Amino acid sequence: MVIAISMQKLSPDYAGLADSYYLAALPFLERTLKQMDLRALQCLVLIAQYSMLTPTRTAAYWVVGTAVKLCQELGLTEEATITKSSSGQALNPLEIDMRRRLFWIVISMEFGLSHSLGRSSCYSVTHDNIDVKFFELVDDRYITSEGIMPGAKPIIPKCLAVHFFKMRLLQLEGRRALYLNRKETPADDQDPWFTQMNAKIDRWMATCPKNDDGSGLNVKWYSLSLFLNIPLAPFFILLFFSSSLTDIPFQVSREAEYHCHSYVPAIAPNTRAVYQCCEDML
């Protein structure tokens, strides 16, 4: 599966060969999933990643949804349980780091697909109730069963990944308030909620890693990925979508409407590039 994913990302010219590796891995799928352990979860993550690159093969939303339920079954969705085994025994630092890493990868995929497809998240915990800590930012060779080795320093790829996961939480918070869980407020774009969200987005942008280590995931990319040329634009755009909870969109100011319509043409040509970057990082 790793080879298949790598070849799909390398070039469309290798799509046929990548698919052959994917098909070669499928006979081992059932036996692996029956274990219902971390290896089964890793298997689902690989299939989900391949499904995002090749949507015609397997329904990515179904695979990621299954991975979320297995995360819950394994106790990976809360900090209180992610550090313990099913029998209640404390796990070593290496095992805990892998569990945290799998949680954030799965939840990022799930939030991303929900955001893109306009569906409700199957992870029924709000953004402010997610208490699982991020994985260690040091290189994997410094993470051992005894703890973090001396001299370890954060590495750019993991810093970028954590920053990306924080973006998913911001997207979820905005989508829940404006689209999924409508309340009396915010009723319009003058509500203090927008100011608070704008401040959160500004803080997130200000803490973006300045060195992208050649990955392309720099300040410019993050601005594009969250559509932040005007920080509130993504949320204004969501206001114009029909909602499953109400037939009446928010009342927005002429200024907000102007910004929304102004940035749609800028967003559309770059959408494919944004999601390709997301896939490359995960």
The 3-state secondary structure of 205-228 reads HHCCCCCCCCCCCCHHHHHHHCCC
Q: Quick check: is 126 in a domain? A: yes
pLDDT tier, 189 (very low <50, low <70, confident <90, very high otherwise):
low
Give a yes or no: residue 23 inside a domain: no
Distance CA 136, CA 142 (A): 10
Separation of alpha carbons 185 and 40, rounded Å: 42
Count: domains in the chain? 1
Asked whether residue 170 is assigned to any structural domain, the reply reads yes
For the whole model, what pTM was predicted?
0.77
What are the tens digits of pLDDT across the range 78-136?
888 999 888 888 899 999 999 999 999 999 999 888 877 777 776 665 555 788 999 99
197-204 mean pLDDT: 82
Residue 149: helix, strand or coil by DSSP?
Answer: coil
Question: Is 139 inside any structural domain?
Answer: yes
Is the residue at 156 inside a domain?
yes
pLDDT band at 282 (very low <50, low <70, confident <90, very high): very low
Confidence of residue 215 (pLDDT cuts 50, 70, 90): low
What are the tens digits of pLDDT across the range 4-57? 988 888 888 888 898 899 899 988 888 888 888 899 999 999 999 998 888 777
Q: Are 208 and 219 in contact (CB under 8 A)?
A: yes
Query: CA–CA separation, 129 vs 143, rounded Å?
Result: 27
Quick check: is 50 in a domain?
A: no
User: Structural domain of residue 116, as residue ranges?
Assistant: 72-281
At residue 178, what are phi and psi to the nearest 5 degrees?
Answer: -95, -20
For residue 231, which of 259, 196, 266, 201 has the smallest C-alpha distance?
A: 201
The closest of 239, 242, 246 to 190, measured between CA atoms, is 239
In tens, the pLDDT along 235-271 reads 445 544 444 444 444 455 555 555 555 555 544 444 4
Please check whether residue 267 lies inside any domain of the structure. yes
Specify if 5 maps to a domain.
Answer: no
Q: Which of 181, 166, 165 is nearest to 243 (CA)?
A: 181
